[in-house]
Amino acid sequence: MAEYYSLNLAEEVKKGITEKAQRGEYQSAAPFGYVMENKKLVIVPEEADLVRFLFEKFVSKEMGMRTLAAYFNNLGIKSKRAFENRTIDYILNNPVYISKVRWTPTGKIRRNYNQPDFIIVDSNHEPIVSEELWAKAQAVIKENKELFPYRFQRNSTKSTWLHGLVHCGSCDKKLVRSLKVYMQCNGYSKGQCKTSNFIKYTILEDLTLEALKSPIELSIGHKPNNSQNSVVYELINRQLDLSREKFERIRVAYQDGIDTLDEYKNNKVSIKSEREKLYSRLAELIETHLAANDKQTVEKRLKDIHELLTVELLNLRLNIK
């Protein structure tokens, strides 16, 4: 009976929400450009101006989604969080800006704005953009989707084994495959990072293999057994974790306009210097540990790993060609 009551209650709630949507009542958090007052959407003038700017620049093709996201982030403007591609995509596809309400009874949209079960009805709140401008934006979106389908990659090839291992030096986000032979900062591709850090992935693979030749560098994750060294090892790793948190805080402070660009750069240099010292101390601990243990065994294992990666990489590149 309890299970039946729960299921029945869920259906009744869903039915009530759907009926409200059909009456044109907005039931979510107020979107960017609006604020909710007495259960009605009311325009926020300064945000509404930015929404119109966004639509106009996109329709004229002066600025794409990534460029618009980067532009808003550089100005320190936020919706619920920092702007990125999907934020711009959602705004451009949201009919709330032409005084309509959209509801999906079957669940979340998940960026599929053409679901057949959508409920889209007229509402009583004031529109921000004209229906003509809205229609032009939808035409540009459709044109872009035809040119670049979902998960489209020009001449895409097999993935590189470096996925998830390489981070951007500016924002610390991961590098992802871009076009055919490059890896680029994922934050930049979404408009959240100002620096277009990218590198040819074949060069990066070669550099990584070269770095793996050093047994001390590759053994950095090998924890010392000596009790005193073990405590120091844990402390250093904790300090490294704290330095990563520091970097995130100064990045957020800069994005929020609390710190200037110069302050952000100075803080970043200070944290980088601190991390280099910690890594140096960690390497000394590892070297001491290896000297006291069977270093030849470790070196042989590392050599085997290096040779295996080299052969696999060669095979992968031959298959790609």
- 3-state SS, the chain, equals CHHHHHHHHHHHHHHHHHHHHHCCCCCCCCCCCEEEECCEEEECHHHHHHHHHHHHHHHCCCCCHHHHHHHHHHCCCCCCCCCCHHHHHHHHCCHHHHCEEEECCCCCCCCCCCCCCCEEEECCCCCCCCHHHHHHHHHHHHHHHHHCCCCCCCCCCCCCCCCCCCECCCCCCEEEEECCCEEEEHHHHCCCCCCCCEEEHHHHHHHHHHHCCCHHHHHHHCCCCCHHHHHHHHHHHHHHHHHHHHHHHHHHHHHCCCCCHHHHHHHHHHHHHHHHHHHHHHHHHHHHHHHHCCHHHHHHHHHHHHHHHHHHHHHHHHHHC
Q: Does 139 share its domain with 225?
A: no
Say yes or no to pLDDT of 308 above 60.
yes
Say yes or no to pLDDT of 122 above 80.
yes
In a domain, 190, yes or no: no
Q: Give the closest residue to 104 by CA, choosing from 91, 89, 114, 96.
A: 114
Q: Residue 138: exposed, middle, or buried by beta-carbon count in 10 A (0-12, 13-18, 19+)? A: middle
Range with the poorest average pLDDT among 12-16, 45-49, 232-236, 279-283: 12-16
In a domain, 201, yes or no: no
For 241, half-sphere exposure in the C-beta direction (CA atoms, 13 angstrom radius) is 6
> Which among 147, 163, 189 is the end of a domain?
147
pLDDT in tens, 212-247: 665 444 444 455 555 556 677 777 778 877 888 887
> Which among 132, 147, 162 is the end of a domain?
147
Q: Does 44 share its domain with 143?
A: yes
Q: Does 92 share its domain with 228?
A: no
In a domain, 128, yes or no: yes
Q: How many domains does the chain have?
A: 2
Task: Give the list of residues 6+ apart from residue 119 with CB closer than 8 angstroms, or none.
Answer: 18, 21, 22, 101, 102, 103, 104, 105
How far apart, in Å, are the Cα atoms of 267 and each of 76, 275, 289? 19, 12, 33
In a domain, 166, yes or no: no
Q: What pLDDT shows up at residue 321?
A: 42
Q: Does 132 share its domain with 231?
A: no
In a domain, 164, yes or no: no
The chain-wide mean pLDDT, for the chain, equals 77
More confident residue, 213 or 279: 279
In a domain, 292, yes or no: yes
> Which among 121, 147, 173 is the end of a domain?
147
Highest mean pLDDT among 134-148, 199-213, 223-237: 134-148
Enter the pTM of the model.
0.51
Dmax over CA atoms of the chain, in Å, equals 77
Q: What is the CATH number of the domain that holds 112?
A: 3.90.1750.20
Q: Does 95 share its domain with 216?
A: no
User: Which structural domain, as residue segments, surrounds residue 76?
Assistant: 2-147
In a domain, 187, yes or no: no
Range with the poorest average pLDDT among 160-169, 187-196, 220-229, 307-316: 220-229
